[in-house]
Amino acid sequence: MTIQRKIANWRRIGQFCARRLVDYGELIPIELAETKKRVLHEIVALVALTIGALFTLSFVSIAVIVTAAGTPYLVLTAWSVAGAWLAVALISVIVMMSRKPAEPFQLLREQVRQDADAIREAAQ
Decide: pTM greater than 0.75: no
Element of type H or E holding 88 = helix 74-98
The whole-number pLDDT of residue 53 equals 85
**Where in the sequence is the domain holding 12, given as residue range(s)?**
3-123
Rounded CA separation 56/45 (Å): 16
68-101 pLDDT tens trace: 888 898 899 999 988 988 898 888 888 888 877 7
Work out whether the CA dihedral 6, 7, 12, 13 comes out positive or negative: positive
The kind and range of the H/E element at 55 are helix 3-67
Q: How many domains is the chain partitioned into structurally?
A: 1
pLDDT tens readout for residues 2-25: 778 777 777 887 777 777 777 777
